[in-house]
Amino acid sequence: MFENYDRLRPFIVESNVQTGAIIVCPGGAYGGLAEYEGEPIALWLNSLGITAFVLEYRVSPHKYPAPLLDAQRAIRTVRHNAEKWNISSDRVGILGFSAGGHLASMAATHFDLGIQDHEDSVERTSCRPDVLIACYPVISFGEYRNNASMNNLLGTDPEDRLLKHLSSELQVTSQTPPAFLWHTAGDQAVPVENSLLFAQALSKNKVPFDLHIYESGPHGMGLATDDAHVGAWTASCLEWLKKRDFIGSKI
């Protein structure tokens, strides 16, 4: 628990209207947190008029479910404090890169609408994100898994049951929130099939999504400011967020 927000770094937008909010989960194979996928992303979201929170979730030697509990608590905390931070409580999203994308996808597929008999009022708040943004995400612990992420999260000999439970493409339902995904076909660390499998599951369950696959580019590009082609993901994401009513005042 982090009542003092010690794991949640706020980047609040000053606005005379309620804003959307997005929690940012940096990558790092569940072994660390990549700084360039944290604050720079929050500042980019601020530039769109979205309040952001960088989640410093627990990584190895901590194991599952610690990171997921951190993500769920972050969503609850932001939504619970919506009035304090001038946020629309029904516009709270989550964004993640690589292993952080896996964490974000877990939050989007493993959630509750609040534990109503809990003594903590924050825990009585829904932890379902309203949107998911997954950037070159780890999704599956099957054929296309990233071994470092799997081992750091689950140990070196995880049960098959747990591998399936945390393969997000197998956990999508019609209640999974709308998603924006991007990946490069040339990613050698996290195969592009991770995003393709998740998009296929979203399509099967009739969940709205945007999927952007770029021909080339290495893993871990972040904002991709040095690649005009891949870097276009931010403009595409902006237009998608507009469609999802995350930009500006809520009508």
Give the pLDDT confidence of 126-157 residue by residue, as tens digits: 999 999 999 999 999 999 999 999 999 999 99
What is the tens place of the pLDDT at every residue in 17-59? 999 999 999 999 999 999 999 999 999 999 999 999 999 999 9
Partnered with residue 133 across adjacent β-strands are 95, 180
**pLDDT band with cut points at 50, 70 and 90 for residue 5:** low
Count helices and strands (H / E) in the chain. Answer: 7, 7
Residue 51's DSSP bridge partners are: 21
Sign, Cα dihedral of 79, 83, 88, 90: positive
Cis-peptide, bond into residue 40, ω within 30° of zero: no
pLDDT at 248: 66
Q: 89: which residues sit within 8 A by CB, 6+ positions away?
A: 79, 82
Structural domains for the chain: 8-243 (3.40.50.1820)
**Mean pLDDT over all residues of the chain?**
95
Q: What is the DSSP string of 139-168?
A: --SSTT--HHHHHHHH-SS--HHHHHHT-G
200 pLDDT tier (thresholds 50, 70, 90):
very high
